[in-house]
């Protein structure tokens, strides 16, 4: 009996080591030195519009389904556009999809941090036509190739566990069939009952899980501070600095005995929610409105003498804060590229400068405790919009799509990159980033 006990104990002790050994072995076997998917293609106006229209079309179909069967149509080009947008947003990601007469072949490459096993995680999936749902028929990870029919059900179960319901599994089972017609994929979908309501509830649940109660209380505190200033100065023409510097002074005071990063982050959330008139709660959940009614922001708040530049600064700051993964830069470019299309305001490097200034501000405010405290002190010391917002003199604005293509080609061109570097140099020279002690 004692020998059996010792054997069981030895196995229990060896299991963690065995798990680590298997994990390391799989990493060395599956990770590779080169990406499977080639470097991303440049993103342009047409790419973004096509991706946006696809998402809007699918959303309209689901909303108008009335719980009846619908056919979701997706072309090979539309999938490629989404992949290019994703690669532009996340520089460690690249993907592509190809259609043949009977299958869709999709590949993904993820660039990994430096490690001895390999620089890239490469994966390919093959989806064959089917009249009985949708399945991954072949799955390739690195050099390993095997059946992938287990992958989608596994992902659905993980989604069910995260959302604490069965909606992911129901959504997967709602796909009745998958057919190809040339370069077009046709998905027959019978959305589960109240699909839209369930989706909204799932989004709210994910949002709520991101913020502890203490974070919500902090955001509400700063929101109330902004609302009080807004009510006092509602009809005054003021620089955004009149709001931002007192906000950072309050964050400095409250962060003396706690986390300056936490206080700065809450202040930035409050700023985004307040000056977007609550629009940012669609990303965050009802951080403020669940507690009390939202206040309408004043109309005469500017940066560089313009309200649109103030909004660019705030929206890009909010998007960056929401992701903290670099999407803010791409979001600013997407907004400007869309504006360059018919009916838009045109591509504006001044707007892009405001976008990047907002992103840089959030990065400095949340990088580390010393950086967060230094930013607070610099804002209080200088108390001027010139401390955190660059001049926009000489920046091209109102460029149509044709003008942008002729002058810069795309957002991946050397000419465009040169303009962005000039903007970043202006931002780097701002007082809060270049003052002694930074």
Q: What is the pLDDT of residues 258-300, one digit of tens each?
A: 899 999 999 999 999 999 888 877 666 677 887 788 999 998 9
> Are residues 223 and 160 located together in one domain of the fold?
no
> Are residues 81 and 180 located together in one domain of the fold?
yes
pLDDT tens by residue, 187-208: 887 776 665 565 555 555 555 5
pLDDT at 68: 67
> Are residues 296 and 430 located together in one domain of the fold?
yes
pLDDT at 203: 53
Between 80 and 394, where is the model more confident?
A: 394
Q: How far is CA 154 from CA 148, 168, 170, 272, 345, in A?
A: 10, 10, 13, 37, 45
Do the Cβ atoms of 199 and 220 come closer than 8 Å?
no
> Are residues 167 and 228 located together in one domain of the fold?
no
Structural domains counted in the chain: 2
Instruction: With both helix axes pointing from N to C terminus, report the angle between 369-382 and 349-366 in degrees, rounded to the nearest 10.
Output: 120
> Are residues 134 and 254 located together in one domain of the fold?
no
Does residue 354 belong to any structural domain of this protein? yes
> Are residues 184 and 299 located together in one domain of the fold?
no
Beta-carbon count within 10 A of 391 CB: 13
Span 205-228, mean pLDDT?
A: 78
Cα-flanking dihedrals φ and ψ of residue 330, to 5°?
-65, -40
Taken in order 180, 185, 186, 190, the sign of the CA dihedral is positive
Question: Cβ-count burial of 216 within 10 angstroms (0-12 exposed, 13-18 middle, 19+ buried)?
Answer: buried
Does residue 293 belong to any structural domain of this protein? yes
> Are residues 264 and 329 located together in one domain of the fold?
yes
Query: Residue 295 half-sphere exposure, CB side, CA atoms within 13 Å?
Result: 20
> Are residues 183 and 270 located together in one domain of the fold?
no
Torsion of CA 126, 128, 133, 136, to 10 degrees: -20
Does residue 9 belong to any structural domain of this protein? no
Do the Cβ atoms of 317 and 272 come closer than 8 Å?
yes
Percent of the chain's residues with pLDDT above 70:
73
Q: Given pLDDT bands bounded at 50, 70 and 90, which one contains residue 329?
A: very low
Query: Which of 136, 165, 192 is the C-terminal boundary of a domain?
Result: 192
Distance CA 130, CA 176 (A): 9
Does residue 34 belong to any structural domain of this protein? no
Whether pLDDT at 156 is above 70 = yes
pLDDT at 196: 59
Does residue 29 belong to any structural domain of this protein? no
> Are residues 126 and 185 located together in one domain of the fold?
yes
pLDDT at 384: 95
Does residue 8 belong to any structural domain of this protein? no
Between 419 and 1, where is the model more confident?
A: 419
> Are residues 233 and 360 located together in one domain of the fold?
yes
pLDDT at 325: 38
pLDDT at 45: 55
* Whole-model pTM over 0.75: no
Q: What is the mean pLDDT of the chain?
A: 80
Domain containing residue 408: 211-434
Does residue 418 belong to any structural domain of this protein? yes
Q: List Cβ neighbours of 397 (8 Å cut-off, separation of 6 or more).
A: 346, 347, 348, 349, 350, 351
pLDDT at 17: 62
Does residue 3 belong to any structural domain of this protein? no
> Are residues 138 and 228 located together in one domain of the fold?
no
Lowest mean pLDDT among 108-117, 280-289, 296-305: 280-289
> Are residues 168 and 239 located together in one domain of the fold?
no
Whether pLDDT at 143 is above 70 = yes
pLDDT at 20: 59
């Amino acid at each position: 009996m004692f020998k059996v006990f010792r054997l069981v104990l030895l196995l229990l002790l060896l299991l963690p080591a065995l798990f680590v050994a298997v994990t390391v072995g799989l990493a060395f076997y599956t990770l590779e030195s080169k990406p499977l998917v080639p470097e991303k293609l440049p993103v342009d106006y047409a790419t973004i519009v096509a991706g946006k229209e696809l998402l809007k079309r699918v959303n309209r179909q689901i909303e108008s389904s009335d719980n009846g069967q619908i056919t979701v149509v997706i072309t090979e080009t539309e999938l490629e556009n989404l992949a290019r947008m994703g690669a532009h947003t996340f520089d460690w990601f690249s993907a592509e999809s190809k259609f043949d007469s009977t299958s869709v072949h999709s590949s993904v490459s993820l660039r990994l941090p430096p490690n001895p096993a390999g620089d890239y995680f490469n994966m390919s999936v093959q989806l064959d036509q089917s009249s009985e749902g949708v399945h991954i028929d072949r799955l390739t990870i690195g050099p390993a190739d095997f059946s992938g029919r287990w992958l989608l059900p596994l992902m659905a179960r993980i989604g069910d566990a995260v959302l604490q319901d069965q909606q992911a599994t129901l959504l997967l089972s709602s796909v009745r069939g998958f057919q190809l017609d040339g370069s077009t994929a046709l998905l027959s979908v019978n959305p589960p009952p109240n699909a839209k309501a369930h989706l909204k509830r799932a989004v709210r649940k994910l949002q709520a899980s991101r913020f502890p109660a203490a974070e919500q209380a902090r955001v509400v505190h700063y929101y109330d501070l902004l609302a009080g200033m807004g009510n006092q100065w509602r009809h005054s023409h003021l620089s955004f600095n009149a709001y931002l510097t007192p906000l950072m002074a309050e964050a400095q005071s409250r962060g003396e005995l706690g986390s300056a990063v936490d206080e700065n982050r809450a202040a930035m959330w409050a700023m985004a929610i307040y000056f977007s008139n609550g629009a940012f709660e669609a990303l965050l959940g009802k951080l403020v409105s669940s507690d009390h009614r939202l206040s309408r922001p004043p109309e005469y708040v500017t940066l560089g003498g313009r309200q649109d530049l103030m909004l660019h600064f705030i929206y890009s700051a909010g998007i960056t804060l929401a992701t903290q993964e670099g999407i803010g830069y791409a979001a600013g470019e997407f907004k400007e590229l869309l504006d360059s299309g018919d009916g838009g305001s045109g591509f504006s490097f001044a707007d892009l400068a405001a976008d990047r200034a907002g992103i840089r501000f959030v990065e400095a405010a949340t990088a580390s405790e010393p950086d967060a405290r230094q930013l607070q002190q610099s804002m209080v010391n200088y108390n001027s919009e010139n401390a955190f917002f660059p001049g926009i003199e000489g920046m091209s604005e109102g460029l149509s799509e044709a003008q942008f293509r002729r002058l810069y080609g795309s957002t991946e061109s050397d000419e465009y990159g040169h303009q962005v570097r000039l903007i970043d140099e202006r931002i780097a020279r701002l007082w809060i980033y270049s003052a002694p002690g930074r």
